[in-house]
């Protein structure tokens, strides 16, 4: 296990959205390291392939920067990691999975990141990256050093989405037939769930619900349909599912728990939740 893999739980807990960036330029080698990692981990658990590119806004004038559409939320970022995918079944989950892997790699290298699925001009990024007409850019992230002082806008966004807080453990995670689960710090399965609870999600809505059994963890989406479909065919909350899958898979590996994500034919159903996939233990 390499350093990134063994310290992933700390990295997950450290990560938070950075919206104010310092002027200090990031060493191009570090940016390349993030890109190579992303490219090496670009197939999601459902088999969709995500393509990654870097956009260097270093030479951009203010107008070009504004054209990226990220200007309102993000201050000072010079580099962006852009991911694209072809629309297909579970492409959003796979995109969330691969992009979050790359963003955690960036966090481990000391860089700030922020998922941007709403605040961006997709067509400008598509032009800059020469994205094929069939592909879509579900989200991008700035890559840079966090500024010492956050902007007022940054503080307002964080407050509006209550970005520092998460829902109680027992409202997200369940056992048996959706009986709320009480967090036990020494239980390795609960450590995995806590890694999901710390995940970023669109507008911090935290739509992940997980039911655990002795051999599997079943992931469901509690969808806010109007919100999820606002940028159709980009589905924000299905991206959230992929992010949760990434956190769980990485945290499991760090704890030497073997398993993989798969879709089961028979799982418990709940009227409010859509079944996504199960992480099934292999030992």
Ligand X SMILES: Cc1cc2nc3c(=O)[nH]c(=O)nc-3n(C[C@H](O)[C@H](O)[C@H](O)COP(=O)(O)O)c2cc1C
Q: In the bound complex, what is the minimum distance in angstroms from residue 92's beta carbon to ligand X?
A: 9
Q: Which is nearer to ligand X, 54 or 161 (CB)?
A: 161
136 sits near ligand X (criterion: CB under 6 A): no
| Shortest distance (Å) from residue 121 CB to ligand X | 11
116 contacts ligand X (rule: CB under 6 A): yes
Q: Decide if residue 205 touches ligand X (CB under 6 A).
A: no
The reply on whether position 144 binds ligand X by CB under 6 A is no
Provide the CA 27 distance to its chain's centre, in angstroms. 24
| Structure token pair of residue 230 | 């606002």
| Helices marked H in the chain | 3-6, 8-14, 28-40, 62-67, 91-108, 122-128, 152-160, 169-172, 188-197, 225-228, 236-254
Q: How far is the CB of 161 from ligand X (least distance, A)?
A: 4
User: Is residue 73 a contact point for ligand X (CB under 6 A)?
Assistant: yes
Residue number with CB closer to ligand X (107 or 257): 107
Query: What DSSP element (H or E) covers 141?
Result: strand 136-143
Taken in order 201, 180, 223, 250, the sign of the CA dihedral is positive
Residues in region 145-174 near ligand X by CB under 6 A: 157, 161, 163
Q: What is the number of other CB atoms lying within 10 angstroms of the CB of residue 122? A: 19
Give the strand pairing for 79-85 and 136-143.
antiparallel
Which of 57, 118, 135, 222 binds ligand X (CB under 6 A)? It is 118
Whether residue 242 is preceded by a cis peptide bond, meaning omega within 30 degrees of 0, is: no
Show contacts with ligand X in window 8-67 (CB under 6 A). Answer: 16-17, 19
Number of residues that bind ligand X (CB under 6 A): 23
Q: How far is the CB of 280 from ligand X (least distance, A)?
A: 25
Site for ligand X contains 115 (CB under 6 A):
yes
User: Residue 253's CB: how many other CB atoms inside 10 A?
Assistant: 15
Q: Contact residues for ligand X (CB under 6 A)?
A: 16-17, 19, 73, 114-119, 139, 157, 161, 163, 200-204, 236, 239-240, 243
């Amino acid at each position: 296990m390499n350093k990134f893999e063994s310290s992933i739980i700390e990295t997950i807990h450290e990560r938070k959205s950075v919206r104010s960036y310092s002027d200090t330029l990031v060493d191009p080698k570090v940016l390349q390291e993030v890109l190579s990692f992303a490219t090496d981990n670009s197939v999601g658990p459902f088999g969709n392939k995500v393509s990654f590119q870097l956009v260097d806004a270093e030479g951009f004038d203010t107008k070009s920067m504004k054209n990226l559409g990220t200007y309102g939320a993000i201050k000072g970022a010079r580099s962006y990691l852009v991911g694209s995918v072809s629309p297909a079944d579970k492409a959003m989950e796979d995109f969330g999975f691969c992009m979050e892997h790359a963003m955690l790699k960036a966090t481990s290298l000391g860089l700030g990141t922020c998922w941007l699925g709403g605040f961006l001009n997709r067509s400008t990024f598509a032009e800059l990256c020469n994205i094929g007409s069939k592909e879509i850019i579900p989200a991008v992230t700035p890559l840079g050093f966090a500024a010492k002082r956050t902007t007022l806008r940054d503080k307002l966004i964080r407050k509006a989405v209550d970005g520092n807080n998460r829902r109680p453990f027992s409202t997200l995670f369940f056992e048996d037939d959706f009986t709320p689960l009480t967090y036990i710090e020494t239980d390795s399965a609960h450590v995995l769930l806590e890694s999901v609870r710390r995940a970023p999600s669109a507008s911090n809505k935290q739509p992940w619900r997980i039911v655990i059994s002795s051999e599997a963890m079943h992931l469901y989406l509690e969808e806010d349909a109007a919100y999820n479909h606002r940028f159709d065919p980009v589905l924000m909350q299905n991206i959230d599912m992929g992010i949760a899958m990434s956190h769980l898979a990485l945290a499991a590996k760090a704890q030497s728990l073997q398993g993989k994500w798969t879709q089961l034919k028979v799982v418990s159903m709940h009227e409010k939740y859509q079944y996504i996939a199960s992480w099934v233990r292999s030992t």
